[in-house]
Structure 1
C-alpha cells in the first residue's frame, strides 16, 4: 500500500484533495515518500484560490513537483466570489476542452512551433467546498512569472498574440468539425462578468468604485471624466447587450478569458521571452476573439507601447489566425475575417475599457495593499461593506494612486486613439 507523509503548509487541504495528490503520485509510479507543501506567490498573484506547490521526495532522492489550486471553504467568501462557477469553468476546461483542443492540433500534424502548450492536469476534485485542480509545475520546464507590476514588452505581447491566434483557431476547428460536442462543452462554461454584473452586491461595488475613481481623477481633463462617469454602473447593460449579440454567433470561440500578466508564464533565453504558456482558465467562456485580444492589450501593456504597436498586434493576430486555420482546412476570410475582427474590436471596446479601468486599482497595487478576499470571513452584507472599504483607493499611498491614474488615462487615451469607444 502506498504511504505518503505530508509536511509544511497543508492545513488548508481536505481529505479529497490529499487523496488526489496521492493518487496522482501513484500514477507517476511513486508509492511512498515525503510530500512538502509550500504556498506559491504572494497577495495579488491570485484572487480566487489558495495556490500550493507539492514537492514529492522519495527515499532515493527522486523529486516530483505539482501545483494545486485550492478553493476557499468559507461559505460567504464562496458566494461572494462565485467560487463554484470559477472552479467549474476551469474544471470543464482542463477535463474537456483543452484535451479536445490538444487532440485536434495533434491530429492536424502541427509542429511544436504550431502548437499551443497546455499545462498537464493530473486531476480535479469537484466536490463542494473542496474543489481542487492539480497541475504540472511549469517552473520545472523553465517557465516563470514576470513582474505583474511592469507592462509587457512588444516581444512578450507578440508571443501571446500568436498563441491566442493558435488557440482560437483550435476552437474554430472544434466548432466546425464537431458542432454538437462543441456546443455541449461551451454551454457548461459561465460568463463570470455577466453573472457579476447582474448581482445587486456587484452593482453596489461598481457604484462605489466609480465614485472613488471620479474623486481620484477630479483634476484631470474632462475627456477622462466623461468616459469614467457612468462607466462602471453601465456594465450590466453592456454585458447584457453583448450576450444577446453572442448568442448563436458563428464568430464566437471558447476564450482563455483572463489573459493578464500573472496568468501567462514565459521561458526566457538571455533574459528575453522565447515561449509562453497560459495557465488560468477560470474566466473562460464563449465570446468573440476580440475579447481576449483587448483584455490582454488593456491589462498588460502601457499606452506608449500600445501607440507604437496596437495595429501591428491586431494584424499579427489575424495573420497567425489565418495560418493556423489553414492547418485545419479552414480559411480566416470565411471563419473570422479581418473586417469582422475590426468590427468586433469596436463592438467590445467599451466593455473592455470598463473592465480595464475597473481592474486598474487591483492590478497595480503592491502586495501589502492587496485585499485578499479569500481570507476574509463574515456575513455576506458585512463582507461586501468590508471589501468596498478595503478597495477604497483613497487609502493607498500617493505613488500607487499616481500609477492608477496614469494607467486609467492611458487606457482611455488608447481607446480614443483607435476608435474603441
Structure 2
C-alpha cells in the first residue's frame, strides 16, 4: 500500500487495518485487500472534530486458494481523534467521540428500525451514511464514503442558497421528528445526549476559549470604520458569555425537545443532485460529536448563522422556518406523534429565546467557515499546549481579518444590535 499512503496518513491506518475492518463488516475471512489509496478526506480547515481520511481499497475474494478473477472497489471514510494532545483531551472530556459512536451504532439504527415499523412498505432514504461494524477500536469510526453515491459538499465559503437551505432543513426536521418518536418509545435513549459541551463542569475549558475569542473579535471589529462601538459591546457579552451559553442550551420543561445534530453547518451536510438539471435531490448528514437533547432552535440558529447565504438570511428567513416547521409537523404526524407538534408561533418564540446561541455561533464560528486557505483556522498549531504557553496568535485572528467575514459580519452586528443582543 506504500504507493497510496499520503504523508499525513496515521501510522496505524494500514492495509491490514483496512482489511480487518472490511472482513468484519462483510463477515468473511476470504476478503483480501490488494492495494489501498489513503488521502485526507477534506481540506485543511474544513473539519475541526477529528482526522478524516478517504480510503479507496481494491479488494478480491480468495476461496480455497483461488482468487476472484475481477477485483472490486470499496470506498470508506475513516474518522479518528485529532493528533494534538491538548485538543484530544478537550474532546475526550466532552465525550464527543463516544457520543458520536453511540449515535451511529445505537440511535440511528433505532431510528431507521422505528421508521420501518411505523411506515411499512414506504422507502425513505437514510439521512446519514452507513457505519461499518467494527470491534477493532473504540477511537475510530468507519463510514461509507458518500461521494461514489453522488453526494458532495458545497464550498463552505460560498454558503448555501435558498434551494440547498430548504432541502437541508426539511431533512433536519425529519431527523428531529424521528428523535421525538424514539424518545416517545424509550426516553432512556436520550439520557446519553444531555448537554456535554456547554456545562458548568467544563467552565474551566470553555472560559479560556470563549472569552479570549470574543476579545479577539472585539479587537478586530473596533478597527472597522463606523463599527468601532461594537468592540466594547462584544467585550461586554464576553464577560458573561459562558454563563449565558450554558443557560441557553438547557432544555426547557413543557417545550418541544429533539435530538439536535449539534454541529449542523455546511460541511456536515452532503447534497445529491439531478444529473441533468442540477436540482438538489436530497441531503445526508455527518459528524454527530456534539449532538444534544434540547430545543430544535439550537440547530436552526447554528445553521442559519454559519451556512445560509446573506440574501437567504435577509429575505427568506421566515420562509426557511416555515419549510422546517411544515416538514417537522408532517413527519410527526406520519410517525403517530402529532401530539408533540408545535405551532409556527411557538417555533418563532423558541428562536427568540435561543437567539443568544445564534449570536455566539456567529461570533466564534463564522470566521472559520468563511476563511480562505490563507486564513484557515489551524487547531493543532494554535490550540496546542506549546502555543498557549508561548502566547501564540489566536486561532481566529486571521479569520476575523478576512474580507468575506468582515462584509457579512457587519450586517450581523447591526442585526444583533437591533435585536437587543448587543
User: TM-score per shorter chain, which class?
Assistant: 0.7 to 0.9
Give runs of aligned pairs for residues 217-232 of structure 1, distance below 5 A: 217-218=221-222, 219-221=225-227, 224-225=230-231, 227-232=233-238
Q: Is the 8 A contact 2:50 2:81 kept in 1?
A: yes
Report whether the alignment pairs 1:372 with 2:373: no
TM-score by structure 1 length?
0.85
Partner of 1:53: 54
Per-residue CA distance 1:270-312 (angstroms, 9 max, x = gap): 3332211111111111110111111111110233221211001
Cα RMSD (Å): 3.2
Separation in structure 2 between the aligned mates of residue 354 and residue 347 of structure 1, nearest angstrom = 14
Report whether the alignment pairs 1:253 with 2:251: no
Partner of 2:278: 271
Deviation at 1:88, TM superposition (A): 1.1
Deviation at 1:83, TM superposition (A): 7.0
Separation in structure 2 between the aligned mates of residue 197 and residue 302 of structure 1, nearest angstrom = 36
Q: Is the 8 A contact 1:37 1:55 kept in 2?
A: yes
Give runs of aligned pairs for residues 19-418 of structure 1, distance below 5 A: 19=17, 22-28=20-26, 31-33=31-33, 34-58=35-59, 60-82=70-92, 85-109=95-119, 115-123=125-133, 131-179=139-187, 183=188, 185-189=189-193, 191-195=195-199, 198-218=202-222, 219-221=225-227, 224-225=230-231, 227-243=233-249, 245-246=250-251, 251-269=256-274, 270-331=277-338, 334-374=340-380, 380=385, 382-385=386-389, 389-393=393-397, 395=398, 400-415=401-416
Partner of 2:66: none
Separation in structure 2 between the aligned mates of residue 220 and residue 403 of structure 1, nearest angstrom = 18
Separation in structure 1 between the aligned mates of residue 387 and residue 362 of structure 2, nearest angstrom = 24
Structure 2: stretches of 5+ with no match in the other structure: 61-69
Separation in structure 1 between the aligned mates of residue 391 and residue 128 of structure 2, nearest angstrom = 34
Structure 1: stretches of 5+ with no match in the other structure: none
Deviation at 1:259, TM superposition (A): 1.0
Deviation at 1:414, TM superposition (A): 4.3
Separation in structure 2 between the aligned mates of residue 236 and residue 335 of structure 1, nearest angstrom = 31
Separation in structure 2 between the aligned mates of residue 201 and residue 174 of structure 1, nearest angstrom = 32
Between 220-229 and 230-239, the greater mean CA deviation after superposition: 220-229
Deviation at 1:253, TM superposition (A): 1.1
How many pairs align? Answer: 405
Per-residue CA distance 1:95-134 (angstroms, 9 max, x = gap): 111111111212222777755522100035685xx61000
Separation in structure 2 between the aligned mates of residue 186 and residue 117 of structure 1, nearest angstrom = 19
Q: Is the 8 A contact 1:166 1:324 kept in 2?
A: yes
> Could you list the runs of 4 or more consecutive aligned residues of structure 1 that deviate by over 6 angstroms after TM superposition?
110-113, 417-421
Separation in structure 2 between the aligned mates of residue 387 and residue 408 of structure 1, nearest angstrom = 27
SS where residue 91 of structure 1 aligns?
A: helix
Deviation at 1:388, TM superposition (A): 5.6
Q: Is the 8 A contact 1:297 1:306 kept in 2?
A: yes
Q: Is the 8 A contact 1:114 1:324 kept in 2?
A: no
SS where residue 208 of structure 2 aligns?
A: helix
Q: For the structure 1 residues 16 and 236, does the alpha-carbon distance in structure 2 shift closer, same or farther, using more than 3 Å as the test?
A: farther
Deviation at 1:352, TM superposition (A): 1.8
Q: For the structure 1 residues 343 and 126, does the alpha-carbon distance in structure 2 shift closer, same or farther, using more than 3 Å as the test?
A: farther
Question: Which one of 8, 12, 22 corresponds to residue 5 of structure 2?
Answer: 8
Deviation at 1:417, TM superposition (A): 6.3
TM-score by structure 2 length?
0.85
Separation in structure 2 between the aligned mates of residue 364 and residue 253 of structure 1, nearest angstrom = 29
Separation in structure 2 between the aligned mates of residue 376 and residue 215 of structure 1, nearest angstrom = 18
